[in-house]
Structure 1
Amino acid sequence: MAEPSWLPAPSNYPGSFYEDLYKSLHANPNLSTQESFAAETVCQHLESLNTRNPGQYAIHSRIGGYGVAAVLRNGPGKTVLLRADMDALPVEETTGLAYASTKREVDLADQLEKPVMHACGHDVHVTCLLAAADALAADTKAWSGTLVLVFQPNEERGKGAQAMVEGGLYDKVPVPDMVLGQHVYPFRSGQVKVRTGPFFSAADSFRITLFGRGAHGSMPSRSIDPVVLAANVVLRLQGIVSRETDPAEFAVLTVGSVQAGQTENIISDKAVLGLDFRTFSTVTRGRILAALHRIVKAECQASGCTREPLIEETRRFPMLVNDGEVTAEVGKSFARDFRGDFDPDWAHVPASEDVSVLAESVGKPCCYWTFGGTEAETWDRAEKEGKIMEDIPVNHSGYFAPVIQPTLKTGTRALYAAALTFLKKE
């Protein structure tokens, strides 16, 4: 595939403008449901494209929160939806970058002020989709059909795609023939990887409140200590995967937060656990869910709790399944464009995504792929020394910092190639 005419040169793809746009997004993150900066940036940029490109995007904002969608109609043909997510995470950035986030924001989920960082690469996703939108609008003679762009809020809580659908997304834009998207991932930059069938895991998250009885720290016999109870629950929960799940089945269970008490000499009256588990099987999911309830209730009973624990679901992601036919066609384009840097049969990804809701809600197929964001020399050195686990920061880490190039080049080119796979002129 020839380089799009809008690119100044392959060496600085997609140009310093998009590198600066990325840095601006990275330095100005917003938590889920509060994505005002990214949404405003998206709308302003799409409006600017309409002033200098032959194509004209019809722009729709505030869909399901801060969601933005845009439509470019360019003659007969298929309708392709490209999606990027916009929200950031409550993580303190420790990258030391000149454009690192120093922002703090009140999380509307619990009304607590927290540091905010684009620790999952959604700033990369937005930048690549805007750059691809630029390329496709500037090159309308090369394709025919309808392009739909979706910039989605609230992916991290697993509710943004559904919110956009319920907010009238498909009343504003045409129903696509397929939904396409991508995620930057901590492997060698320049590479693209995908898998047909189940690709990203299902995820279930819970807030578990354990009710004990408070007392003076010197009088533990007068209490039902929720800290000791929480410790027993955490340890016992680890046995669900290691001792109750078939080793041939994938499962991950993580207790990501434990909160109890305010000071050293007071035994609190409750403890709150934040728990998440991932699966690729509905049967395995059901068994883990049942074991979770059984263990929590049994440990409370063993501790003599007088009040039942409260187990609340906080989010749920569906399993992401890549359609065979669509993924095979996208794979042909990627094999041509990325050659040895494309892997069509990568491993299952234990992370989770809600992009498939945009497809499944209207009965359409989905294809989602990953592209690398780790600087090549850093990756090669870590791989040679056997230190990938230690030296390569992963998504959701305060050290996660995708190298700007060729990451933006790769992500933009992947979206461009995938869209043109189905928007070919007959």
Structure 2
Amino acid sequence: MKPFVFLFLVSSLNAAEPLDTFIEKERPSLIQLYEHLHAHPELSLHEEKTSVRMAEEIRKVGFEVTEKVGGFGVVGVLKNGPGKTVLVRTDLDGLPVREIGSVPYVSKTTTKDDAGNDVSVMHACGHDMHMTCWLGAARALAASKDQWQGTLVFIAQPAEERGLGALAMVGDGLYQRFPKPDVCLALHCDSSLAVGTFGFTSGPATASTDTVEIMVKGIGGHGAMPNLTKDPIVLASQIVLALQTIDSRELHPVEPVVITVGKFIGGTKSNIIPDKVELGLTVRTTSTETRTQVLEAIKRICRGLGIAAGLPENLLPEIAITGPGTPSVYNDPALTARVTQVWAEAFGKTSVIERKPTMAGEDFSRYTMTPDKIPVFLAWLGTVAPEKMERAKASGEILPSLHSPFYRPEPAPSITFGVKAMTLAVLYELNHK
């Protein structure tokens, strides 16, 4: 990268206004937007009002907007002469979490989930911050058209939390109906990094995810007469423990895998042995081979323990892999190196932190999994006040993680750094030949 080009991009958003000054001017309205989004989250596949707001906001700054792409997806296109095409993604959906906090914009939203249950909703994964930084970058880039040539494709994606939105948008012709990008970029909040820092991983960056549902069957009866039953609670408990041996005894010791049983439902009364137990698993792996091996091992263990418990064939555990899952995000090494170099020069080398892959899932991976193999880069945005991190480090306190009812980014500084980082990354990619 040529230093003088970088300095030019940093020092001047347009002929009259530096980028930092532009962001400072826009920050009050962006904070207001963030607080509105935080207070009014919507569940996956139900992001109707959020998508309308994002479409309205990006249309105001000159993007040609198409709504309802792959559900409630939004696509904004801004053309500015010949050149590269850069796609920037944000996600729209919240989580069924009841927020705990005292800030004025705390979410009090409740709704029905797809099963008809009453649930609270919260942006516990920071998608409200993602949307705000996305819009801020769109505003900055639209205001600096004399600094770049090419095409911007800004997309707001539904259902990231369920791993469905990216697949739906690609399936609805994202790369056929709109300009095909040369690169794709995204930011994701991080609850363990200080504001002003950015985490990155070159190559495999997140895990592939699968949801596995296991129906453990049995023969119910009186709790005082277990000899006349086949107890599915005991069998399900044995399965939960046995599944952990897949990682410890069947895989290479340094191969990353997570098998978490997050749902265990069975029984109605203490003295009744039920006739079924429901188990729900999330399975995280980083390679296709390991994924196949783990899923097959789960099936084998469940069947084997069912036979050992004396169950007939028609009562052996039933295993179902639900949904398409999310493949591992692979950050293109060359793209990663370019963007992190831009950030290192803008924010300082210590602000850009290389980190190990996470076992979290992200369907941003779908945008590179087409025949074109378009390079993607997903980075982690620090959102915790530095002084809060120092206090936690000194006291041993564990800070709220993503998906926690207590997690909230520090709005003003997170927005400032997120908007600037994404704007600089896009500007460099558009001007990089």
What TM-score do you get using the length of structure 2 for normalisation? 0.90
Question: Does 2:392 match 1:382?
Answer: yes
Question: Does 2:167 match 1:166?
Answer: no
Q: 2-side partners of 1:274 and 1:329: how far apart?
A: 41
Contact 2:223–2:270 (CA<8 Å) still a contact in 1? yes
Provide the residue aligned with 1:400 in structure 2. 407
Amino acid in structure 2 at the alignment position of 1:297: R
Q: 2-side partners of 1:321 and 1:277: how far apart?
A: 18
Amino acid in structure 1 at the alignment position of 2:148: W
User: Of 137, 152, 155, which aligns to 2:160?
Assistant: 155
Unaligned ranges ≥5, structure 1: 50-55
Following TM superposition, by how much is the alpha carbon of 1:11 offset from its aligned partner in structure 2, in angstroms? 8.9
**RMSD between aligned residues:** 2.1
Question: Does 2:185 match 1:176?
Answer: no
User: Of 202, 214, 220, which aligns to 2:208?
Assistant: 202
Provide the residue aligned with 2:197 in structure 1. 191
Provide the residue aligned with 1:336 in structure 2. 345
Amino acid in structure 2 at the alignment position of 1:281: S
Q: 2-side partners of 1:14 and 1:201: how far apart?
A: 36
Instruction: Could you list the structure 1 runs, at least 4 aligned residues long, displaced by more than 3 angstroms after superposition.
Output: 3-14, 216-222, 262-266
Following TM superposition, by how much is the alpha carbon of 1:69 offset from its aligned partner in structure 2, in angstroms? 0.6
1:224-239 matched pairs, under 5 angstroms = 224-239=230-245
Matched residue SS, 1:171: helix
Q: 1-side partners of 2:381 and 2:102: how far apart?
A: 23
Amino acid in structure 2 at the alignment position of 1:255: V
Q: 2-side partners of 1:226 and 1:111: how far apart?
A: 27
1:3-402 matched pairs, under 5 angstroms = 4=13, 5=17, 9=21, 12=24, 14-49=26-61, 56-108=62-114, 110-186=115-191, 187-306=193-312, 307-315=315-323, 316-343=325-352, 345-361=354-370, 362-385=372-395, 387=396, 390-402=397-409
**1:323-377 residue CA offsets vs partner (Å, 9 max, x unmatched):** 1221121122111112134335322122111112122224211111111111111
Amino acid in structure 2 at the alignment position of 1:343: V
What TM-score do you get using the length of structure 1 for normalisation? 0.92
Question: Which deviates further from its counterpart, 155-164 or 228-237?
Answer: 228-237
Provide the residue aligned with 2:421 in structure 1. 414
Q: 1-side partners of 2:12 and 2:227: how far apart?
A: 73
Following TM superposition, by how much is the alpha carbon of 1:263 offset from its aligned partner in structure 2, in angstroms? 3.9
Q: 2-side partners of 1:32 and 1:15: how far apart?
A: 28
Contact 1:91–1:396 (CA<8 Å) still a contact in 2? yes
Q: 1-side partners of 2:275 and 2:56: how far apart?
A: 50
Question: Which deviates further from its counterpart, 117-126 or 284-293?
Answer: 284-293
Task: Describe the shift of the 1:136–1:240 C-alpha distance in structure 2 as closer, same or farther (beyond 3 A).
Answer: same
Q: 2-side partners of 1:400 and 1:425: how far apart?
A: 37
Amino acid in structure 1 at the alignment position of 2:37: L
Matched residue SS, 2:11: coil
Contact 1:205–1:276 (CA<8 Å) still a contact in 2? yes
Q: 1-side partners of 2:101 and 2:249: how far apart?
A: 38
Matched residue SS, 1:238: helix
Contact 1:201–1:350 (CA<8 Å) still a contact in 2? yes
Question: Does 2:431 match 1:424?
Answer: yes
Amino acid in structure 1 at the alignment position of 2:166: A
Following TM superposition, by how much is the alpha carbon of 1:412 offset from its aligned partner in structure 2, in angstroms? 1.2
Amino acid in structure 1 at the alignment position of 2:343: F
Following TM superposition, by how much is the alpha carbon of 1:391 offset from its aligned partner in structure 2, in angstroms? 2.0
